A and B are shown apart, each in its own frame.
Chain A
Amino acid sequence: MLSKSQARTFFLVGTLLFSLLFLFLTVDSVRQVPAQTRAKNITPAVARGKHLWDANNCMGCHTLLGEGAYYAPELTKVYERRGAAWMDVFLKDPQAMFPGQRKMVKYKFSDQDRQDLIAFFKWIGEMDLNGFPPRPSRDLNAGLPAQVTPPAPPSTRADAPAPRPTTQPSSQAAARVAAAPAMPVKFQQLCVACHMLGGKGGRVGPALDGVGKKYNVASLRKWLEDPQGVKPGTAMPKLPFTAQELDQMVAFLLAQK
């Protein structure tokens, strides 16, 4: 039977051996990680973004690389999922984007801060993570760039100047989209996060198929410039369009008949 001194030897030798092995593997990992994580892309902006990430304890609600809390979405691939423009708007006022939903803290980020955070997420998203996050075996959201949330509360739709969704066979809608003025980049970046068009997009706001029938240039422009002014309390945020982008957007939307 094992004696006490043998047991002690087992403990001491085992601990020493495996500590050394661990240190050896650590040295090797430290050598390999910079390449695997594209560390050369860590710009000062990324470093500042990382600092913001820590300083606000974002990990206290979200996970990143699968580490953190389980209250808010996994953000490893958020750059790919949402894009820079959307994130910029969202970070200005998170609760405005998803009203009535689980709340995110509204931080007083400067324009620079938001760009830094976006740079940080972009860098994170490009790492080689050995296959994480896993690809769903049946991706129900396939093709949806957006967050699918339950339909907006009735009030947003019933008395809204915004159109009620008209259900259109998506093939028809798609055909019309093709014929209409080209879809502005900003539309893809921002609007589809909440609105459907041709069967694709989010469900926070009403679908935009047929929106051109309900508006004219002036009313649509007014709505986009100041949603809160037209309809106080609406879920629709004021989006950052340049004058030219606004023109394109209005033209595009009016063509959705």
Chain B
Amino acid sequence: MKFKSQKVAYWFFAACMLLLTLQLTYGFIMAFAHMGLDGLHDYIPFNAARATHTNLLVVWLLTGFMGATHFIIPEEADRELYSVPLAYLQLVSLLVVGVVAIIGFHFNWWEGRKFLEIPRPLDYLVVVNVLLFIYNIGMTVWNGKRFTTTGIVLFMGLFSAALLYLPGMIYFTNQTFDSYFRWWVVHLWVEGVWELIMGAILAYLLIKLTGVDREVIEKWLYVIVGLTFLSGILGTGHHYYYIGTPRYWLWIGGLFSALEPLAFLGMALFAVAMYRRSGRQHPNKISLYWTVGCAIMAFVGAGFLGFAHTLPQVNLYTHGTLVTAMHGHLAFWGAYAMIVLAIITYSMPLMTGRKLWNNMPGLLAFWTSNIGMVGMTGAFAVAGIAQVYLERKLGLDFMVVQKEIEVHFFGLTLAATLFSVGITLFIYNFIKHGLPRDEMVGDQSLDADWVEPHQKESVAAAPAPEKSTPKTGKKAKA
């Protein structure tokens, strides 16, 4: 860790861990309700559980992106953060708004639009909050000693994400317009500007972990985000097939959204290629796993499973069924949850000085959570396909079909338990790292791209941990 202000990232990440835990709890509540065990119905009806589950997801991912930004931007701009108190103020206010919103959900206070349930008055607070964040980061970048592509792409992603929140705040009486502009937030976030954020974090991590030349990595970053927008913007049309919008969206949306997996394929190939090219062995194995794993799982969840239901002929039948939930889980997990967990595992040793970067709980966390999530995806897939067939093809009643597929929610619960074990291990490792320490500031021994293999497991307890001499001159560049 080069700059003292990078430490703020820790608190953002700690908040992530907390919100993630709560998110999973609400996931279980819904899985049980789907099985007919809805004992909580009077206190937490399904819609409250669901709004909480998805909003917590979005909030912890955003918190994670912000934490990542606070860690990456000082380094990319080569200066301290513009204002540390502002960063703390922003984190605390974000959490307050988030918590108030979630409590509100339990009292039927919301906007009732999928993924944008946060009540309107709180929307304004979110906007103010994000402006604070953008201001703080913007000033850091602007006054920075250098401009890097990674830094700029990250900032552009965050800035456009903030901008795109606004169309979601317009009220329309016509349900079709309501939906049309709601997708400007939801779709253009996850299949547009968030990919910039993800791509930038991925590029940063690959530069650090593989030591491949920055110029090469950043060139590919441009190609990938170029592909993202080329396909993703008009790809919004895959949500405009059947909501009362003109028919031309069927072929425009179908064509361009079918190209969207290219950007994810690009990321996966790029991460694997860079990994292969790295002539060295970075000791932070766990972070490397999460980084490369993220690129691969994003391709599977978003690219492959997204493609599976994006053509209008298929989507006519799968639209609004559990098939969508199957894709939603693996896509969010692979692309966004994993990138946040990757930057956390990368930065924690640097902030705290404890090198828990190749230990058993950490590796198990990676494998268990991923296997669990793949299992959950499978359970949703079987339930979804059965639902499509029975309800949309054979015309059976919705509730009859739900009874038939109850058993798959038992499968979902089992897989989700495995998944949660993985997340618990991850959080365990997170806590074991302890708090960020001032002694780590300016200590570049762990920042170094190259650490001798025999130093791997030593725990840096002393104020000045052992220095390792980078073998290559790349440190200066990265």
Contact = CB atoms under 8 A, between A and B. Distances in A.
Contacts of B41: 103, 105
A149 B242 contact: no
Interface in A84-134: 98, 101-103, 105, 124, 127-134
A33 B173 contact: no
Contacts of B321: 70
A58 interface: yes
Name the residue among A34, A53, A65 with the largest chain B CB count within 10 angstroms.
A65
Contacts of A150: 400, 403
Nearest to B48: A60
Interface stretch (B80-88, B312-320, B335-343, B428-436): B312-320
Contacts, number: 221
Contacts of A11: 222-223, 225-226, 229
A174 interface: no
B29 to A, nearest CB: 12
Contacts of B250: 130
Interface string B62-82: 000000000000000000000
B173 A47 contact: yes
A68 B320 contact: yes
A32 B343 CA distance: 45
B114 A67 contact: yes
A22 interface: yes
Contacts of B96: none
Nearest to A129: B242
A67 B179 contact: yes
B316 A132 contact: yes
Contacts of B243: 65-67, 129
Interface stretch (A140-148, A163-171, A244-252): A140-148
Contacts of B111: 54, 57
Contacts of B10: none
Given A10-B226, A57-B108, A42 B173 contact: yes
Contact of A28 (B180, B246, B317): B246
Interface stretch (B31-39, B288-296, B364-372): B31-39
Interface in B378-420: 387, 391-400, 402-403
Contact of B252 (A25, A124, A130): A25
Contacts of A58: 47, 112
B395 A103 contact: no
A122 B327 CA distance: 31
Contacts of A68: 114, 320
A10 B233 contact: no
Interface in B300-356: 316-317, 319-322, 324-325
Given A4-B215, A18-B233, A10 B175 contact: no
A33 B399 contact: no
Contacts of B177: 30, 33
Nearest to A47: B173
B218 A64 contact: no
Contacts of A153: none
Given A18-B230, A33-B245, A137-B393, A2 B112 contact: no
B443 interface: no
Contacts of B3: none
A29 B240 contact: yes
Contacts of B215: 4
Contact of B234 (A22, A47, A63, A129): A22
Interface in A17-63: 18-19, 21-22, 25-26, 28-30, 32-34, 36-37, 39, 42, 46-47, 50, 53-61, 63
Contacts of B173: 42, 46-47, 50
A257 B45 CA distance: 44
A247 B51 CA distance: 47
B222 A127 contact: no
Nearest to A149: B399
B260 interface: no
A57 B117 contact: yes
A78 to B, nearest CB: 11
Given A124-B175, A147-B397, A57 B112 contact: yes
6 contacts: A19-B229, A22-B234, A47-B173, A60-B112, A73-B399, A131-B242
